[in-house]
Each structure stands twice: as structure tokens, then as C-alpha cells.
Structure 1
Amino acid sequence: MAPTRRPSDGLLARVNFPLYAVDMLTSRHILVAGGGGSSKTGVANGFEIYELYHNGSHFCAEEVLRHETGANVVMNFAVRNSGRRAYLCAGQEAHCQMYYVQPRIESEEDEDRDRKPAPVERPHENGVRQRGAAHSGVEALPNGHNNRQQNQSSGTSNQELLGKLHRLRFDIQAADVVQTDFLKSAEPLQRVVRISGNGQLMATGGTDGHLRIWSFPQIKLIKQLAAHTKEIDDLDFSPDSKCIVSISKDAQGIVWDLSTGKQHYKLQWQTPEGAKYLFKRCRYGTVEAHKDNYRLFTIANPLGKVGKQRGYLQQWDCTSGQLRAAVPIDESLASLAVRDDGRFVAVGTMFSGSVSMYIAFSLQRVLHIPHAHSMFVTGLQFLPITNEEGPPISSDTEAAVLSISVDNKVCIHSLQQRRTIPAWLAIVFMIVMIFVVFVFCSYIGI
């Protein structure tokens, strides 16, 4: 089935393979990855890149590039954008494969000239299969741009028109590959890869329970820690790149000091009724207006089905390692994301495929999308609001989060701007109240 697109909140795109990882390649480009594995099922493995825009009423996405990875399913990846090009580090079984993602500017005239009347694929030297919107099965809506006739009739200048007629395209080229997991009792598998905020380190974890720290982008092993007795499920670097947190199926959550390679503290909490819980995902988030401070968020699920136990979204103090706040959720959780400014947190559920958004400091839920997916939510990613990889998308929403699942869908969920009283109305209200109080006091002789 070819990818499709619907211009509305909810379904953005449908890919013809299960999705396991999502991130923003730039402030406007979504990168998703997954696949059907090495079995001969006919299900592809690889990446899809979509350009995202807001047309004034809703978000839309247009396919930019598709890159297939042969028999290697992509279960996890990390992206580092250096401006001139991006580094994409993808987990493929026991290895981490690096790709160079090279941006290039393509005019609409070039794109139209390259297209053929029949829906054919255009091969590139590096094996990338790139298709125009007319060939991909994606609905041919203008990618946030008006056509020439509309622009000219509206008085748009030639310089503005030239800018609107150019689009950003990408080429993917395979680079270095390293083995990152060495489990001997079964098939080794990299479960997670992360790149530090300063762009100097990469961390990997997998089925052998070892936390490995690598230099980046020249990938060389720096530290190898026997962090856990079972497979590592998730990792995340602290915003200052001084610590890293690891969580595992051994029920341990540990924060490590990267300078010494020693434990900083363990994440410990009083579980409900003494039941056993396993951490599932972990993410750091900065504190608004205090970029040197940050919070740690985790999700935890009960081990097994015992009574009415529920999953938890948790917030931890990064100085003491103490649990600061936790909110119960009516089912087990599968995914977690924190917005780049640390203001919002999102979780995806395991059974109902629902997505919820919370205010980070209070863990108050502000958005709930039940059954966003037909299966468990494998990944979440907020749209960025910072300007590191280009200007963020302008929209009428306060926050928006992407979600993916093994149901092959890429969806987006928006939190509308919460209404506030205009300043002038508040002033008028205060004046009226003062006048009423003055009249009342005069009436009773005070």
C-alpha cells in the first residue's frame, strides 16, 4: 500500500510498514522508521521523511523521501543536525548504522522536469528511492505554497515567489557501522541509541545489559558499563550532557555520572501495595526560564496483570533522585516525550493506543486522544518551538505532538491555545469593580 495523507489533525500519513521510531529531522521535517524484519513477508524496512506545514486550519504532511534498508528493520534511531548535514544513527539488529542525511534545495521547476507521466521511481546512486507527490500515492496538495498565478494576482514579488518555489530535499548515504550489543545466549539486539545535547557523545544499550558510551561523530568506544543484569529498554542524556539515565527490565533505573562512569543515584519509589513495577521509558526536560535546571520523567508499568494496578507517569528531582510527583493512568504505558522547552510531556498507551498530554511541572492532563491508534503507541515526538534547525511551524496551537504505531500510521495531536482574558478587558473590569465598591460604600455611609 502506498503512503497516503489526510490534511487534518489525527492521521497525517500512512506508511506500508510498521513504525517504531520518530523524530524531527529539522524543525519542519518528520523522520519515521520501522519495517517488517528480515522474514520474507514482503513488508519493507526503512525510513520515510515528510515535510510538515500548517495551512491555517490544520497540519498537513507531504512525503519528501523514502529510503529502504533491505532486510534490516530499523527499531530505533537518533538524529543530530549539524546545519550542513544531519547524522542519523539507526539500530539494525546488533549494530548501529550511521547515515549522512544531506539537504539540498530543489526548485519546483526541477521537480516537475524530473517527474514522468507514469508513476515510476527515480533511483539515486546511494539506493535512495525518491518520489514526487504525484508518484507516491500522497494526495497532491500544494505544500504550503500558492501557485504562480495566485501569487502574481496577489501582488507577490518575484523574490518572494522565488523563495516559495524552492523546497528542501534530502539524500541519504550509508557511512560507518559498529556492533553495539554482544549478547551470547540469544540474538543480540540494540534497543536504544541516544546522542548527547552537545553532540560529542553517543550512547547505546541493548539485550546484553551493557551501557556503551561512544565518541561522536567519529564513533569510537569510550566507556563500557555493566549497567544492568537484563536488557536495557531506554536511555537519555541530561541536557548538560554530564549524566545519563538507563532503565532496564531488571526493574532498575540508574543515573550515571559520565565523567567517572559511576552511579550517581538509583530511581527508587514506594510502589502501590508493594507490587513490582518496571520502568518503560525515560526522558529529561529543561525547566522553563531556567535552562541549567532540568527534570527527569519516566513511565512505569506493573509487572504482570494483578488486580487494578495502573501505569504511572513520574517526575524526579535531578539533584536528589527523589520522586517529586506521579500520576496514575488507567493502563500500561508504551511511549514518552518531552517538549524541547520542558513545558509539556506526552505519553502513549499500550492497549488502547491513546495519547495524552500533560503540563510538565504539575502533571496536569490537558489533552487526551482516546484510540489515536489501533495498537500500542511505539513513539511520540513534540513539534519543536526552538529555532536550532530553522524556524518552527507557525500555527494556532499551543503544542502539538506526533505519534506512531505498528498500525503504520503517523498522527498529530494539537492542544489549542487556551483562552485568556484580554488585558484591556481586565482593566475595564477592575475599573467597574472599583466604581461599584465606591458607590456601595457611599450608599452605606462608610
Structure 2
Amino acid sequence: MVIANSKSYGVPLYGASWLPLSLSRSKSEDDSDDSPPSIDATRHVVLSGGGGEGKSGIPNAILVSQFYADSNSLSDQPTYIEVTLVTMIYLYRWFEWDAVKSDDGHGWGLKSSEKVLNQLEDVGQQLALTFDDEGSVLAAGGEDGKLRVFKWPSMDSIIDESNAHASVKDLSFSPDGKFLASVGSSGPGRIWEIASATAIAALQKVKDERFGFCRFSHSIENHQVLYVTAMQGKGGSIIKWNTTSWKRISSKHITSDSITAFNVSADGKHLVVFRVPVTSGTHDLKKLVWYNKGTMEGDILVLHSSSMRVHTVVKKAHLGIVTSLMFSHDSRALLSTSFDSSARVTLVADKKERGTSLWIILLIILLAMAMYYTKLVEMLP
């Protein structure tokens, strides 16, 4: 059973995240009246979007909304909104968390910082921005193919590679922070070692594969693993890579449609993709949008990471293309956003795979047969 909640917030949404765990402190830890309560029952999600350049007529904005886990509902209106009236599409600003009071009591908002990210000024469009798990390293990948990696928040340069890819599409840090994976619009993926600031491996393609997204994760056995999505003429696949040899472990064809969003749960048990039907014979996102006249209904697939079997399907999750997928910190909820201005939370039930359950049933039957046979032998003269 799929349990989900969706709300429209009036601006096209392109990014989403959950409130950082470092902010989820309880009143008992801080007696200040400005300290928000524990978020066991009430959580916050952060959404970003807008029209891009100021001339589009749609302002860019950062929104904070509440998610009530007990009732599985998003707040009808954002509890906080920061409108960024900028005329430049490639402007990077620094925001800090701010405790605020709301109609419900306490909450979180954002305040614009006076700090300036000089290292990201006049660098063009960055298609990928990501932090390591500790929040101490920031990586940025540009449309021009340049990769920049900085210490955070000092912004001291670690890697400055002008020809990482033709165009950087996605980035992901390993859980231990030692490696950074990058994929681009053409050519192989690359693995960067942070300590030596060098590329140490290439993720080779097979035939006509085109890499789309990359995500490091912990496997169920608690080993590091790397997932990369790939598109071919037959559709979308997910490739699993060994993080020592950097060789393929497996490749699983997931859908005959295009994969336009991807992520991995924090506990490593689930993967999620958004698939869009191919109606024009192309997997190119811009062409798909044009052929479908802007309407990009598709399905969200939650998969078991161990077998790549489908766990949950959310049919026609949004009216427009899904722009981001983000699991909650406890991996029990999935936040998705779309350029149709909607945000949606889907609860992810902790159900076991059918294959595993079937083997358990067969084992019980075999044990029962063995016991029956043993008793039968004992009864014989």
C-alpha cells in the first residue's frame, strides 16, 4: 500500500532535502525559548526552485515546510519562504539556519549570510553540488566540464580540474569521505581520491551506455558500494561497482523508459528512480519534454538494493517531471519534487522481499517433511 501526501507550493521545484540531523535537538538540550522541539513527530523539509533568470517572471525561492509523520501530511503553506530576487541565473548565496516562532510554536527558517563565496563567482552554471557526509568538503561540477572541490567552510581548494568531463552531470562522495565519483555527458565516469587530489580510476562504459547519476552507499553487509545509472537504446539500467577494484559487480535492466532522477536510502536498503515513458524514440530529457509538450507524468520506483526488485511503485507521482528524490534520515519516507510546483512524501514500508519469504516457506516445508519422515522411520518395525 502506497501512502503519500502531496502539496503544491506555487513555484517550480528543483531541489529538496530534509532538516539536518544536527538541528533536530530537543527542548531538554537547550532551555532557550528559541529552541525548536524534537522532530520525532514533526519534521521539516527544505525546497528550492523558481524561474531561474529574473526575466522569466517567476522569482527564485527557498522554502521550508513541515512534514507531520503522525498524520503523514505536509503543511498547506511553507512555514518559511525566502524569495531571492536576482537577475543573474548563476548566483550563489550562503544561508544559515535560524530558529523562528510560528503558529505551531517553534520551527526553523533561513537567514541570508553576509559571507560571499568568491570561489564560485563567475564560474558559470554548476550542474552538480554536493557535500561529504561530515559536511567538511564541497564539490561542484560545471556545465563546462570543470570539477572544483573545496574544504568547507574555508573554501580552500583541494581539486581544480578543468577537463574532468565534457560536462559534469552528477557527483557523489563515498561514506568515508575518501573518494568522489563523477559522471559526465560523455566518456567514462571517474573516481577521485580526496587525499591525493587525483583521479585514480575510470568507470568504463559498455557499448552505447550513457551514464546519468552516481551514488555511493553502504551495502546491507556494511561495505561501500557505488551505483551508477546508465541509459541505452533498451532503456535504463543500474550498475553496481566494487569500490576497491572499481570493476563492475553487476548490471540490472530496470526499465525500458528513461531514468530522470535517482537516489539511495541512508541505510542502503533501497534505491529509487523516476522513469518517464519514451514516446519519441529518444532518452534525451530536453527532447522528451518538447515531444510531451511539457507534461512528463511518470512513475517512482523504489527498489530493493540487494536484488534490484521492485519494492513500491508510485504511479503518476507528479504531473511534471520529478526533479529530486530524497530519502529521510531514517529511510522511512521519500521526498520528491517536480517542476509542476508539487512536493510529495511517500512512506516506505519495511517489507521483506517475496523471494526471501518464499525461501523461508520452502525451508519450513522441508523441515516438516524431514521430521515426518524421521517419525515414520521410527514407527516402522
Contact 2:119 2:155 in 1 (8 A): no
Match of 1:156 in 2: none
Aligned counterpart, 1:12: 6
**Counterpart position of 2:348:** 415
In the alignment, structure 1 residue 168 sits paired with structure 2 residue 107: yes
Matched, 1:283 2:222: no
- 1:363 is displaced (CA, Å) by 1.8
Match of 2:325 in 1: 380
Report the CA distance between 1:206 and its aligned residue: 0.9
Query: For structure 1, which segment, 247-256 or 368-377, has the greater mean C-alpha deviation from structure 2 after superposition?
Result: 368-377
Partner of 1:262: 198
Residue of structure 2 equivalent to 1:340: 266
1:407 and 1:46 map into 2 onto residues whose CA distance is 15
1:32 and 2:32 aligned: no
The SS at the match of 1:324 is strand
Alignment-mate amino acid for residue 339 of structure 2: V
Q: What does 1:26-425 align with in structure 2 at a 5 Å threshold?
A: 26=20, 28-55=43-70, 59-62=72-75, 63-71=78-86, 93-104=89-100, 106=101, 111=102, 166-174=105-113, 175-180=115-120, 188-270=124-206, 274-275=207-208, 277-288=209-220, 290=222, 293-302=223-232, 308-328=233-253, 329-351=255-277, 352-385=297-330, 399-418=332-351
- 1:99 deviation in Å? 1.0
CA distance in 1, matches of 2:129, 2:276: 22
How many Å separate the matches in 2 of 1:48 and 1:255? 34
Residues 386-430 of structure 1: CA deviation (Å, up to 9, x unaligned): xxxxxxxxxxxx833111111111112233232799xxxxxx999
The 1-side partners of 2:150 and 2:20 are apart by: 24
Question: Against the structure 1 CA distance between its residues 285 and 13, is the aligned structure 2 distance closer, same or farther, given a 3 Å change threshold?
Answer: same
Whether contact under 8 Å (2:52, 2:89) holds in the other structure is no
- Kept in 1: contact 2:93–2:112 (CA 8 A): no
Q: Which residue of 2 aligns with 1:136?
A: none
* Structure 2: runs of 5+ lacking an equivalent: 22-42, 278-296, 358-363
| 8 Å Cα contact 2:99/2:106 also seen in 1 | no
CA 1:96–1:431 in structure 2 vs 1: closer, same or farther (change >3 Å)?
same
Q: Which amino acid aligns with 1:15?
A: Y
TM-score (norm 2): 0.77
Q: Is the 8 A contact 2:140 2:149 kept in 1?
A: yes
Residue 41 (structure 1) shift: 4.0
* 1:353/1:373 contact within 8 Å kept: yes
Aligned residues: CA RMSD: 3.0
Supply the distance in 1 between the matched residues of 2:169 and 2:3 (Cα, whole angstroms): 30
How far 1:9 sits from its partner (Å)?
Answer: 3.2
Mapped partners of 2:184, 2:118: distance in 1: 22
Check 1:337–1:320 CA distance in 2 against 1; reply closer, same or farther (3 A cut).
same
Moved more, 172-181 or 362-371: 172-181
* 8 A contact 2:5–2:345 mirrored in 1: yes
**Matched letter for residue 31 of structure 1:** V
| Whole-angstrom CA distance in 1 between matches of 2:228 and 2:165 | 20
After superposition, what is the alpha-carbon deviation per residue over 1:161-199, rounded to whole angstroms, capped at 9, x for unaligned?
Answer: xxxx7432323223323353766xxxx211111112232
State the one-letter code of the partner of 1:18: P
Paired AA for residue 94 in structure 1: Y
Shift of 1:95: 4.1
Q: Give, in angstroms, the shift of residue 320 of structure 1.
A: 1.1
- Give the Cα–Cα distance (whole angstroms) in 1 for the partners of residues 128 and 195 of structure 2: 21
CA offset at residue 353 of structure 1?
2.4
For 1:421-432, list aligned pairs within 5 A. none
Structure 2 CA distance for aligned equivalents of residues 299 and 226 of structure 1: 24
SS in structure 2 of the partner of residue 66 of structure 1: strand
Query: What code does the residue aligned with 1:97 have?
Result: R
Contact 1:19 1:404 in 2 (8 A): yes
For 1:103 and 1:299, the matched residues in 2 are separated by: 38
Larger Rg: 1
| SS state at 1:361 partner | coil
Matched residue pairs, number?
329
- Asked whether the equivalents of residues 19 and 35 of structure 1 are also in contact (C-alpha less than 8 Å), the reply is yes
Summarize the Cα distance change of 1:249–1:69 in structure 2 as closer, same or farther, 3 Å threshold: same
State the alpha-carbon separation in 2 of the partners of residues 434 and 309 from structure 1. Answer: 47
3-state SS of 1:20 partner: strand
Cα pair 2:158 2:197 within 8 Å, conserved:
no
The one-letter amino acid paired with 2:69 is H
Residue 321 (structure 1) shift: 1.1
User: Residue 289 of structure 1: CA displacement?
Assistant: 5.4
What letter is aligned with 1:231?
Answer: S
Aligned to 2:282: none
Task: Give the 3 Å change call, closer, same or farther, for CA 40–210 of structure 1 in structure 2.
Answer: closer
Is the 2:226–2:242 contact (alpha carbons within 8 Å) kept by the matching residues of 1? yes
Letter in 1 for 2:229: I
**What are structure 1's unaligned runs of at least 5 residues?**
1-7, 73-91, 113-164, 303-307, 386-397, 422-427
Amino acid at match of 1:354: D
Distance in 2, Cα, partners of 1:442 & 1:342: 49
